[in-house]
Structure 1
Amino acid sequence: MSHRTYTHPDVLSVGVAQGWADPETDPTKIDWAPRQARAAIAFQVIDGRPVNPCERTATRYGRNELGHWGEALAADALVSATDRTGRRWIVMVERADGHGWALPGGHVDPGETALEAAVRELAEETGLTIPGAPWQAAPPRYVPDPRASDEAWMVTVLCTARLGVGDRERFPAVVGSDDARQAAWVLADTYEVLLGYLAGAHGGRVFAAHVDMLKRHLATPEVA
C-alpha cells in the first residue's frame, strides 16, 4: 500500500492564484458536509480527510496534480458524425498538458449543469457550437485520472451528440484553443480504429482517464 504524500507545486501556486485549486492545505479544516451533500458519487471522510470512493492510487496523501480536495465534477462532450461511407468520426483534442488526446471537457462551474459545462467546454476548446443538437447526458462516472490521489479525484458526466450523416469534408471545422493544443475529427469506428488513427495521423495516444469511457461508448455501433 502506498503511503506517498504529494501535491504538485502548481496546485499551491498557479492553481490557487487562478482559482482552480483549494487554498486550504489541511483537509481536516474543510467543512465536508456540503461537499459530501453535492457529490455525484458518495464518499467518506475519515478523521477529517476525504477518501477516494473508487480506487487506491499511488498517492495516499495530498492532491497530486488536482486542485480540489475530494471530488471534482467534470463534463465531457462526445460529438460524432458518420461519413457517406458509413464510418464514424468523433471530435477530440490534444491536451496542452501532455497527457494525450481526450474528449473536450472540463470542470462544471457553480450553478452550471453538466450538459451546460460540456457544451461550453466544447466551444472553448474546439470552437464548435451545434445549436439544437440532440444532446444526451449519461450518469456520472468515476474516471481513473492519472493526476488523482486517494484524497482528490475526478468524476465526469459524458454528454453525447450525434450529427448524423454527411460528407467528411463538410463536417464542422474544429480548432484547438484554451486548454487544447489542437482539435480534430478522429476516425472511431471502434476503439482500436481510434487508437490506430490517432497514432498514424497525429502520433498521439488516448488520455488515460478517457480510455475506459471511450472503449465502452465505441463498442456500440453508430446509429445514423
Structure 2
Amino acid sequence: MTSGTPRGPPHTDPLGQGPGLDRDSFGHAAVANKGSGDDGSRRLLMVERSDGHGWAVPGGYVEPGEDPAHAAVRGLEEETGLTLGGVPWRVLPARYVPDPRASDEAWMVTVPSTVHLDPLPHGGLPAVAGADDTERAAWVRADIYIDLAAHLAAVYRGRVFAAHRAMLTEPLG
C-alpha cells in the first residue's frame, strides 16, 4: 500500500507483498500430450487470443468464491471446446504474471493447472476449436520452449503472449 492505494508486486519479486488471489486472478490449464505429434514430439494446447496479444495457455478469470483450478478447467472448455472429465490435474502455486493490461493498482495472478494426456487410440489428439475470446486453438509442438515459439512463428506467424513466457519457459526449458 502506498497512501492507501494497493500496489502491484515489483517485477523483481513476482508475488511480493501483493494480496494474492483477491486481485485479478486467473486459472490457466496447460494440457500436454507426450509423443502424439507426427514426429513424436510433445504437444501443448494453446489458444490465439482475439485481442492481438499472441498465443496463450487456455484459462479464465476466477469468479468470486470459485476454486482457481475449476476456473482453469472451465476456461479450457470455454476457449477450446475440450472437456476433460476424470483426469488428474496438478495445481501449481499461484504466480504473478506480467500481463500488459496490468498496472501498479491492478495486477494479474494466475494459478496454473496441468494435465498430461495419454495418446488417443488412433494416435491423434482431441479436436479443439477457438471459441469465446480466442481466434483459434491448436496443439503446438512443445518439447522445449524454443520449439514452441518457433512452431507458432512458422505455422501461425504468431508469438507467445508476453504474460505467459516465463510460465512456459520454466517447465519446458
TM-score, scaled relative to structure 1: 0.69
Identity %: 52
Map of 1:35-54 to 2, 5 A cutoff? 45-54=1-10
Map of 1:1-224 to 2, 5 A cutoff? 45-55=1-11, 71-83=23-35, 86-166=40-120, 170-219=124-173
Return the index of the structure with the highest Cα Rg: 1
Distance in 1, Cα, partners of 2:145 & 2:66: 31
* Runs of 4+ residues deviating >3 angstroms: 165-169
CA RMSD, 1 decimal? 1.7
Superposed displacement of residue 55, structure 1:
2.8
Q: 1:168 to 1:49 in 2, by over 3 A?
A: farther
Distance in 1, Cα, partners of 2:3 & 2:159: 39
Structure 2 unaligned regions, length at least 5: 13-21
Q: Where does residue 65 of structure 1 map in the other structure?
A: none
Q: 1:179 to 1:102 in 2, by over 3 A?
A: same
Distance in 2, Cα, partners of 1:97 & 1:159: 23
Which digits, 9 at most, give the CA deviation of each residue in 1:82-122, with x for residues without a partner? 23554100100000000000000121011210110000000
TM-score, scaled relative to structure 2: 0.88
Distance in 2, Cα, partners of 1:179 & 1:83: 29
Structure 1 unaligned regions, length at least 5: 1-44, 57-69, 220-224
Q: 1:168 to 1:194 in 2, by over 3 A?
A: farther
Task: Check conservation: 1:83, 1:168, Cα contact below 8 A.
Answer: no
